Amino acid sequence: MPRIQYEPQEYANMHFVYGECRGNANAAAALYRERYPNARHPDYRVFIRVHSCYSEGRIPGSGVGGSSAGRIANPDFEDMVLQEVEQDPSTSIRAVARRTGISKSTVHSILKRYKLHPFHVTRVQTLQPRDFHSRLRFCRQMLAKIEEDPQFFNKILWSDESTVKRDGYLNLHNLHSWELTNPHLVREDSCHLTGVSKHTSFKS
C-alpha cells in the first residue's frame, strides 16, 4: 500500500496537534479530524511517524536529513509491518518477518518506534447459573468450620488445584494483541470442560 504524502503545512499541523495531546496518537487523530474537518484525516500511525521524523532531524515525507544510525532502511517496511499488525493484532514478530521477508530485528524496531506493545490476555473463569449454588454451599461450609474452630483458616498450610483437560493446553504467553494502550483483554474458560480436577490442601 503506497504511503500518502501530505503538504508541509499538514505535517506541521499534525505535529502541533500531537504535542497538544501529549503524545497520545489516538487522541491526536481524533482532535485533528475535529479541528480540520475539510482536510485529509491521517490515522494515529502518521502522527507517530511525523514526530519520529522531527525528533531525528528528518523532514516528514521527504527522507531528507537526520543521521542514518538507527533508521529503517526502506520506509515501505513500516507500512508493510503496520498493515500486518492491523490485520491481525495477535500476530507475532516471527510471523510478520516470515510473511514480509523483513528481518525480525527490523520488525521489532518498527513496532517499538510506533509504541506498539504485545498486551497479554488474562484468563478468567466463566460463571454459569449452576455455579452459584456450589459457591454458596462452599461459603456456608467454611462459615460452619469457622464456628467450630475460629482458627480454622490459620491452620491451612497449603492448598492447590491441578486439572488435566482433554481440550489441549493454552499457552497464554503466545496470546496477545499489539496495541498502543492496554485493552485489558480477557478470555473466558468454563470450569466444566471434560477433564479431571484434583484439589489438595494440608492443615496442621
pTM higher than 0.85 for the full model?
Answer: no
Q: Domain ends where: 115, 131, 146?
A: 115
- Statement to judge: residues 41 and 77 lie in one domain: no
Mean pLDDT of the chain: 80
| Same-domain check for residues 128 and 195 | yes
d(CA 86, CA 78): 12
Q: How many domains does the chain have?
A: 3
Alpha-carbon distance 21 to 36, whole Å? 15
| 84 plus 63 within the same structural domain | no
Q: Are residues 24 and 49 in the same domain?
A: yes
Read off the pLDDT of each residue in 10-25 and give the average, rounded to a whole number: 92
- The model's confidence at residue 70, banded by pLDDT at 50, 70 and 90, is very low
Looking at residue 66, its pLDDT comes to: 46
Does residue 189 sit in helix, strand or coil? strand
* 195 and 141 inside one domain: yes
- Domain holding 92, by residue range, is 73-115
The secondary structure of 142-182 as a DSSP string is HHHHHHH-TTTGGGEEEEEEEEEESS----GGG-EEEESS-
Could you tell me if 42 and 102 lie in one domain? Answer: no
Q: Are residues 98 and 153 in the same domain?
A: no
pLDDT given at position 139: 92
Residues 52 and 6 occupy one common structural domain: yes
Mean pLDDT within 132-141: 90
CB 106 within 8 A of CB 77: yes
DSSP state of 59: B
One domain, residues 59 and 93 = no
What's the average model confidence in pLDDT over 28-56? 89
Which set of grid coordinates corresponds to residue 40? 485529509
Count CB neighbours of 107 within 10 A: 24
